[in-house]
Amino acid sequence: MKFIIFIILISLIVSLKKKNNELEAKLNSKINEFENKNYNGKTDTRTFEEKLEGKRKSAKIYYEKREKFWDSESEQIIFEKVNRRLPYDFVILPHVSLREIFKHKFDNKEGFKNLSYYHVDMLICSKEYMTPLMGIEFDGEGHEKDEQKLRDEFKNSLFGMASIPLIRVDDKEIDEKVLYNLIKEEFKRAKLCKKCGSPMKKIKGVNGEFYGCTNFKTGKCRNSKNIDTIWF
């Protein structure tokens, strides 16, 4: 008797899984039908007006407005507090897609698409040039999972490659003053050019020492700063 019940349960599970796969296939079919091509991968022969209607249907059926813009309440609070204390020549932006900061070296479509899956929680830029100068990430409980660790490492490597400091703070233990001082110290350490974002180095000139952009030799940036400049 127990064996029969077991067989029935297995059959039900298999049947439900099959139905779920069928529903998922139908959903994907509808999305493709509404957007760029039909489910069979054939050339899209719809008129432009039909394609427009497909986009409208796709937007209405499969998408909706998020209830909250912020990922957490603490993130919102810290953003507002840091933003109020930010020096006049900086601006802080929330939830910036990495495709707005980086690009694929060979203009690879999949590489560009991959960047679209990532964002940085907060990005500090120079107000005059809108140059990315520092990223801030709020790490919650989910960051202990292997999948998230891989995503974090990819993000860390991108920022490191571009010499853009990326600060990571615990989502549950954020202190406004501590974070602000951390940002200030990191700017002082990195000494980034507000014009192009490259590191600046100390140079001995005719009239004394000053900081010059390391992009000077390439001819891309000729920005310079006084030796006693305040970085943040």
Q: Is the pLDDT of residue 26 over 70?
A: no
At 184-215, the pLDDT tens digits run: 999 999 999 999 999 999 999 999 999 999 99
Exposure letters 43-69 (e unless 16+ CB within 10 A, then b)? eeeeeeeeeeebeeebeeeeeeeeeee
How far apart (Å, rounded) are the C-alpha atoms in residues 168 and 226?
30
Q: Point out which residues pair with 208 in neighbouring strands.
A: 205
3-state secondary structure of 170: strand
**Apex CA 143: angle with CA 142 and CA 144, to 5°?**
90
Task: List the structure tokens of 162.
Answer: 């571009």
**227-to-83, 105, 193, 195, 209 alpha-carbon distances in Å:** 27, 35, 13, 17, 6
Share in percent of the chain as helix, strand, coil (round to 5): 45, 20, 35
Strands laid side by side in the 132-139 sheet = 90-97, 119-126, 132-139, 166-170
Q: What are phi and psi of 124, to 5 degrees?
A: -95, 125
Q: Any idea what DSSP says for residue 220? A: S
Q: Any idea what DSSP says for residue 201? A: E
How far apart (Å, rounded) are the C-alpha atoms in residues 17 and 20?
5
How far apart (Å, rounded) are the C-alpha atoms in residues 224 and 86?
22
Which range among 85-89, 107-111, 196-200 shows the weakest confidence by mean pLDDT?
Answer: 107-111
pLDDT of residue 108: 87
The average pLDDT across 171-187 equals 88
Pairing type for strands 208-213 and 166-170 reads unpaired
pLDDT of residue 171: 76
At 117-174, the pLDDT tens digits run: 999 999 999 999 999 999 999 987 777 789 999 999 999 999 999 999 999 998 777 7
Q: Residue 91: which H helix or E strand, with range?
A: strand 90-97
Q: Are the C-beta atoms of residues 14 and 6 closer than 8 Å to each other?
A: no
Which of 196, 188, 171, 185 minimizes the C-alpha distance to 228? Answer: 188
